[in-house]
């Protein structure tokens, strides 16, 4: 006699395996689409920051000024494609005459593409999108933001630390906002030998637009 319960379980396992296998093709297609679309983009700078920043906020204004200055030197600007700091950076990129790239992500909130994007690519998977950020950037600018910004910040640091990508500078903008975090990294992680002193040099805590643009401009020559 057939074990109905066993048959049902077997069916569910087979169905799950089939779904997971086909999901690999969707993931691969996102990589192919991303690489194809980014192939003709000039060397870029990824600018990360909060989707909740509003026009007139310091973070919004600074992101727009940084992107405008860098794009005027021929650098493409890469953002997450959404509102807030991302919108400001894409807007600055267009004003500066550079290529404005938005790597959008499907989310149930906050992530409608902003109107200042020349090249828009939408992803389903965060990890595919992260690869595109890292692969096509020569520097990273971290504006004030939340969990997503922290994720991207520490992802960049980890890949540089482990020599998986070139040792690009990571500019952290806003001493009032990030000073406590950098103090903690110094006072805890470095003091307790969780990181090496030379690894901390990756992080450049700054306060002004000029510090960012002058530092990155040297990489683009």
Which pLDDT belongs to residue 15?
A: 56
Find the helix or strand (DSSP H, E) in which 79 lies: strand 76-79
Query: Mapping DSSP to helix (H, G, I), strand (E, B) and coil, where does residue 123 land?
Result: strand
- pLDDT > 70 fraction of the chain, expressed in percent and rounded: 89
| Higher-pLDDT residue of 10, 161 | 161
Q: Decide if pLDDT at 49 tops 90.
A: yes
pLDDT digits (tens, 9 = 90+) for 192-211: 999 999 998 899 999 999 99
CA angle 143–149–154, rounded 5-degree value: 105
Q: Which of 217, 220, 185 is nearest to 200 (CA)?
A: 185
pLDDT digits (tens, 9 = 90+) for 102-160: 999 887 765 689 999 999 999 999 999 999 999 999 999 999 999 999 999 999 999 99
DSSP sequence for 14-52:
HHHHHHHHHHHHHHHHHHHHHHHHHTTPPSEEEEE--TT
Q: Decide if pLDDT at 191 tops 50.
A: yes
Which pLDDT belongs to residue 18?
A: 60
What's the predicted TM-score (pTM) here? 0.87
Which pLDDT belongs to residue 1?
A: 43
> Would you call 136 exposed, middle or buried from its count of C-beta atoms within 10 A (0-12, 13-18, 19+)?
buried
Q: Decide if pLDDT at 17 tops 60.
A: no
Which pLDDT belongs to residue 8?
A: 52
**Do 99 and 88 touch, CB atoms closer than 8 A?**
no
Q: Decide if pLDDT at 45 tops 90.
A: yes
- Residue 19's pLDDT band, with cuts at 50, 70 and 90, is confident
Q: Find residue 46's DSSP bridge partners.
A: 78, 140
DSSP sequence for 164-181:
SS----EEEE-HHHHHHH
Which pLDDT belongs to residue 167?
A: 86
- Residue 2's pLDDT band, with cuts at 50, 70 and 90, is very low
Which pLDDT belongs to residue 154?
A: 96
């Amino acid at each position: 006699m057939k074990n109905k319960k066993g048959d049902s379980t077997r069916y569910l396992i087979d169905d799950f395996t089939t779904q997971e296998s086909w999901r690999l093709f969707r993931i691969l297609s996102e990589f192919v689409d991303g690489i194809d679309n980014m192939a003709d983009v000039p060397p870029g700078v990824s600018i990360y920051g909060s989707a909740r920043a509003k026009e007139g906020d310091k973070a919004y204004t600074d992101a727009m000024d940084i992107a405008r200055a860098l794009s005027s030197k021929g650098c493409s600007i890469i953002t997450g494609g959404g509102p807030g700091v991302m919108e400001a950076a894409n807007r600055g990129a267009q004003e500066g005459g550079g290529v404005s790239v938005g790597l959008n992500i499907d989310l149930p909130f906050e992530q409608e593409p902003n109107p200042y994007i020349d090249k828009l690519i939408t992803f389903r998977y965060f990890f595919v999108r992260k690869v595109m950020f890292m692969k096509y950037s020569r520097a990273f600018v971290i504006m004030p933001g939340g969990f997503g910004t922290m994720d991207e910040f520490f992802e960049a640091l980890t890949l540089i630390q482990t020599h998986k990508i070139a040792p690009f500078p990571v500019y952290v903008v806003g001493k009032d906002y990030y000073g406590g975090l950098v103090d903690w990294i110094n006072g805890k992680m470095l003091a307790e030998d969780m990181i090496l002193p030379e690894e901390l040099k990756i992080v450049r805590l700054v306060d002004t637009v000029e510090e960012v643009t002058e530092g990155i401009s040297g990489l683009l020559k």
